[in-house]
Structure 1
Amino acid sequence: MVEVSSAALDIELLRSFQAVAQQGSLAGAATQRHRTVSALSMQIKRLERVLDTRLMVRGARGVSLTPAGESLLREVRALLRQHDALMARFTGRGLSGRVLFGMPEDYASAMVGEVLPEFLAQHPDVLLETVTAPSGELARLIEAGELAMAIMLDRPHRLQGGEPLWKTSPVWVAGREVRMNEVADQALLLALHTEQCPYRALALEALERCQRAWYPVFTSSSIHAVETAVASGLAISVLDRERVSTAMRILGEAEGLPPLSSCEAGLYFSKRINRDSRQAVDALATMLRDRLIKRGPWHGDR
């Protein structure tokens, strides 16, 4: 007779493992999971004992996954989505309603890859509709009641009432091999977002302050198109530091470029949220706060 192992995976251990992987630190995951750091560390060790493999490496900059941990994380995401959907279906405790949610394209990869699927797994009866647009356009949609909530930067609009999430880090960037012309009165060739984008506003405000001439050699609503224009050497631009790739380099005062003002990402709500959807909107807002406050969506995005 073949002996069957009695080892089993505890759902709570898997949730803690996923939280540490998402946050990149035990401290961040402990806050999210409402546990102490030591309790969370013991959970990870228990999971490693059950699976008989090392899942994480702790270092000075936080926690990184081993190859086995990376593989497990993909499986855990799928398993927890199925588990939460099953519980909501059979217990009848799932939320319902319609959530119209907006965010800038810059953050779509991380949000669609992690947060939104997890939300739908926990609340399978919620109708989630997500759009990406520049922050200025998102502000217009919020004011018009066409979105229930949105993550957006605090420029170029002045919409009131946003909840601060994280500070952005805008920098001037050029292609890795591009050498800046030292002639100060020569117009800078820029790759710009459309007029509703906050980073366009930051770039042009900075150039106007120092009265530096510029020319829009490339304009696009797509962050990926602007990044390609920069990496290819076509023009320089302003991007978040977290989006600077190995094909780019950061510019500054040494290249004659003015300092940039800061930006803040915030969570904004419409004043016209349908009563039947309010609980679902609040649930997504809670998840966004847990995942994004002070850290943003960058971990695992690039």
Structure 2
Amino acid sequence: MSERTGVALDLEALRSFMVVAQLGSFAAAAEHRHRTVSALSMQIKRLEERLDSRLLVRGSRGVTPSPAGELLLGEARELLRQHDGLVARLTGKGLSGRVRFGMPEGYAPHLVEQVLPDFVAAHPNVLLEAVTAPSGELANRLERGELSLAVALDRPHSLAGGTPLWQSAPVWAASREFVIDPIAPLPLALHPLHCPFRSLGIEALEEMGREWSAVFTSTSIHTLEKAVEVGLAISILDRQRLTPAMRMLTPEDGLPALAGSEARLYFSRRVGAASWPAVEALAELLRQRLEGVGPWPARRSGAVYPR
């Protein structure tokens, strides 16, 4: 009987490919992997030769996976997860390191409930530090190396790439009794700068020439919601956050339609190599739980929202 032969993939080359694809930079990936850029490039080149496919595409904003690379990226995550889990079970050595995770406050309760406890239970030796902030501020913290990874909406910041998770649904929200004065400036309850919904709302109002005034500003989403419920102002909220005391305003109320926004998973380029496996483990759990569906339980049950 002849021995069966085939293509054998180098696991370390797969790890290098994943880091390059996720960070969008050979230089940043080389720092994580404790290799030179040329050594990393050689690993990727050999991987491409074995698979007879181009895996990465260089562009003006960095490196992105090709269609074949996207396919390999998903399969490689699962392959390495199973490999690393097997090694951990056999050796008794689990993941360690430090993971600093950022998330927008409006989605934090759902992420904390649905994702973080399972991660902590599965990896007790990993130090997890979680913070909440507007998406623009999370992007700034990622770039400064203060966070390992973050879930953030895809604006108002200049971060490239990111893994798409779910589509947000921003709407104008008012109390049930709120009456819009068509002449007076529109009273708004807003987050400070760096909030994507603030940017969406103000851009839409200024495009239609509607005057507005920030009569209430807070960093707390719950405080903004209370300002809406008592009729102090209107705001821009994710549709899933509307309460029975609120109604959704539409163009029929004289307000402009709002563009959508996408929640994405972004990696820092300054994660220490020792912590990278733990960072990737949390990222994989977030992808498994949130891709395509988001964090809202109601989104899976077909709930009806107040208008």
Common fold: TM-score over 0.5: yes
Say if 2:113 is the partner of 1:113. yes
User: What SS class does the counterpart of residue 275 from structure 1 fall into?
Assistant: coil
Q: Is the 8 A contact 1:110 1:300 kept in 2?
A: no
**CA shift at 1:176, angstroms?**
1.3
Q: Is the 8 A contact 1:152 1:266 kept in 2?
A: yes
The one of 280, 284, 287 aligned to 1:286: 284
Instruction: Give the distance between the partners of 1:176 and 1:296, measured in 2 at CA.
Output: 27
Instruction: Give the distance between the partners of 1:261 and 1:93, measured in 2 at CA.
Output: 47
Q: What whole-Å deviation, never above 9, does each CA across 1:55-99 have from its counterpart, x for those lacking one?
A: xxxxxxxxxxxxxxxxxxxxxxxxxxxxxxxxx899624210100
Instruction: Give the distance between the partners of 1:239 and 1:191, measured in 2 at CA.
Output: 10
User: What SS class does the counterpart of residue 165 from structure 1 fall into?
Assistant: strand
Instruction: Give the distance between the partners of 1:192 and 1:121, measured in 2 at CA.
Output: 37
Q: Is the 8 A contact 1:120 1:126 kept in 2?
A: yes
Q: Is the 8 A contact 2:180 2:186 kept in 1?
A: no
Instruction: Give the distance between the partners of 2:218 and 2:90, measured in 1 at CA.
Output: 47
Say if 2:217 is the partner of 1:214. no
Q: For residue 276 of structure 1, what is the aligned residue in structure 2? A: 274
Q: How does 1:53-68 map to 2 (within 5 A)?
A: none
Instruction: Give the distance between the partners of 1:212 and 1:300, measured in 2 at CA.
Output: 33
User: What SS class does the counterpart of residue 99 from structure 1 fall into?
Assistant: strand
Instruction: Give the distance between the partners of 1:259 and 1:211, measured in 2 at CA.
Output: 14
User: What are structure 2's unaligned runs of at least 5 residues?
Assistant: 1-87
Instruction: Give the distance between the partners of 1:91 and 1:230, measured in 2 at CA.
Output: 55
Over the matched positions of the two proteins, sequence identity in percent amounts to 57
Matched letter for residue 296 of structure 1: G
Q: For residue 155 of structure 1, what is the aligned residue in structure 2? A: 155
Q: For residue 54 of structure 2, what is the aligned residue in structure 1? A: none
Instruction: Give the distance between the partners of 1:166 and 1:113, measured in 2 at CA.
Output: 18
Root-mean-square deviation (CA, aligned residues, Å) is 1.8
User: What SS class does the counterpart of residue 276 from structure 1 fall into?
Assistant: coil
Moved more, 185-194 or 234-243: 185-194
User: What SS class does the counterpart of residue 158 from structure 1 fall into?
Assistant: coil
**CA shift at 1:129, angstroms?**
0.4
Say if 2:195 is the partner of 1:172. no
Q: What whole-Å deviation, never above 9, does each CA across 1:182-225 have from its counterpart, x for those lacking one?
A: x2x32101001111100100010000000100111100111101
**CA shift at 1:107, angstroms?**
1.1
Say if 2:235 is the partner of 1:237. yes
User: What SS class does the counterpart of residue 242 from structure 1 fall into?
Assistant: helix
**CA shift at 1:263, angstroms?**
0.4
Instruction: Give the distance between the partners of 1:173 and 1:274, measured in 2 at CA.
Output: 42
**CA shift at 1:111, angstroms?**
1.2
Q: For residue 197 of structure 1, what is the aligned residue in structure 2? A: 195
Instruction: Give the distance between the partners of 1:94 and 1:176, measured in 2 at CA.
Output: 52
The one of 263, 266, 269 aligned to 1:265: 263
Instruction: Give the distance between the partners of 2:94 and 2:120, measured in 1 at CA.
Output: 10
Say if 2:208 is the partner of 1:248. no
| Large movers: runs of 4+ above 6 Å | 88-91
Q: How does 1:66-145 map to 2 (within 5 A)?
A: 92-145=92-145
Matched letter for residue 246 of structure 2: M
Instruction: Give the distance between the partners of 2:210 and 2:139, measured in 1 at CA.
Output: 30
Matched letter for residue 170 of structure 1: P
Instruction: Give the distance between the partners of 2:184 and 2:243, measured in 1 at CA.
Output: 27
TM-score, L = length of structure 2: 0.67
User: What are structure 1's unaligned runs of at least 5 residues?
Assistant: 1-87
Task: Give the number of equivalent residue pairs.
Answer: 213
Q: For residue 35 of structure 2, what is the aligned residue in structure 1? A: none
**CA shift at 1:127, angstroms?**
0.3
